[in-house]
A and B are shown apart, each in its own frame.
Chain A
Amino acid sequence: NAGVTQTPKFQVLKTGQSMTLQCAQDMNHNSMYWYRQDPGMGLRLIYYSASEGTTDKGEVPNGYNVSRLNKREFSLRLESAAPSQTSVYFCASSEAPAPYSNQPQHFGDGTRLSIL
């Protein structure tokens, strides 16, 4: 019962490098989300996709792009990594966007990204 799977689990980049974080869910959920978690700041929404074919900016979208590849997959891309993007990144999915449903968001285990 995989749920939400994120790859890679760890990554170290140099400033200016690019990379894509992958996320896949096997629960047939419509909505998917990318968050970053920084110490003492909880989780902040980067981008979300309410349904296949749509994406919207969250609270902290600058420096990131996303692609909803299909219903299962939602990727996050850093085009030119900066030290300020060092963080733990979480992907989540839900059956329908809150608050129209009481279905909660289910989270992956995170990608720990360090940018030197």
Chain B
Amino acid sequence: GEDVEQSLFLSVREGDSSVINCTYTDSSSTYLYWYKQEPGAGLQLLTYIFSNMDMKQDQRLTVLLNKKDKHLSLRIADTQTGDSAIYFCAESGLGSARQLTFGSGTQLTVLP
């Protein structure tokens, strides 16, 4: 089946930039998503990118997509303590038309 991989942990200092990486295997992926999960809560959609785009920027968030290498990244500028959470990468593709495949999530810890 399709696979999405992320590193499990990332620590950054407050004010620095965070970069969370994700790789996926489905070459037919059409949309790729980033979700944020705070403790005890559900998943909140942060942003998404269509597979024919290389980059998308939304305020402090920048998504980069390298379709050739099947690599997706989320950059958070000026990281704040409120950004501490688990970040999930997810992809949808033609091969799994009605479901998302999620990575295992990256726990971002922002240190003061």
The verdict on A16 contacting chain B, using a C-beta distance below 8 Å, is: no
- State the main secondary structure of chain A at its contact with B: loop
The verdict on A79 contacting chain B, using a C-beta distance below 8 Å, is: no
User: A99 near B44 (CB under 8 angstroms)?
Assistant: no
User: B98 near A97 (CB under 8 angstroms)?
Assistant: yes
Q: Which residues of B contact A105 (CB under 8 A)?
A: 45, 100
What is the 8 Å Cβ interface bit string for chain B, positions 7-43, against chain A (1 contact, 0 not)? 0100000000000000000000011010100001111
Interface size class of A (residues with CB under 8 A): 20 to 34
Identify the closest chain B residue to A90 (Cβ): B42
From B1, B31, B43, B88, give the contact of A102 (CB < 8 A): B31
- Most A C-beta atoms less than 10 A away, residue of B4, B8, B102: B102
What is the 8 Å Cβ interface bit string for chain A, positions 14-48, against chain B (1 contact, 0 not)? 00000000000000000101000000111111001
Q: Which residues of B contact A104 (CB under 8 A)?
A: 33, 45, 48
Measured CB to CB, the closest approach of chain A to B39, in angstroms, equals 11
A48 touching B4 in the complex, CB below 8 Å, given contacts A42-B88, A42-B103, A109-B42 = no
From B40, B41, B92, give the contact of A98 (CB < 8 A): B92
What is the 8 Å Cβ interface bit string for chain B, positions 73-93, against chain A (1 contact, 0 not)? 000000000000000100011
Q: Which residues of B contact A102 (CB under 8 A)?
A: 31, 48, 50
User: B99 near A45 (CB under 8 angstroms)?
Assistant: yes
Measured CB to CB, the closest approach of chain A to B86, in angstroms, equals 10
Measured CB to CB, the closest approach of chain A to B31, in angstroms, equals 6
- Most A C-beta atoms less than 10 A away, residue of B42, B94, B97: B42
From B41, B42, B99, give the contact of A58 (CB < 8 A): B99
User: B31 near A42 (CB under 8 angstroms)?
Assistant: no
Residues of B within 8 A of A (CB): 1, 4, 8, 30-31, 33, 35, 40-45, 48, 50, 88, 92-94, 97-100, 102-105
A/B interface sample: 15 pairs, CB < 8 A: A40-B8, A43-B100, A44-B102, A48-B99, A90-B43, A97-B97, A98-B92, A98-B99, A99-B30, A100-B97, A102-B50, A104-B45, A106-B45, A107-B43, A108-B42
Q: Which 4 residue pairs spanning A and B have beta carbons closest together?
A: A98-B92, A99-B30, A107-B42, A42-B102
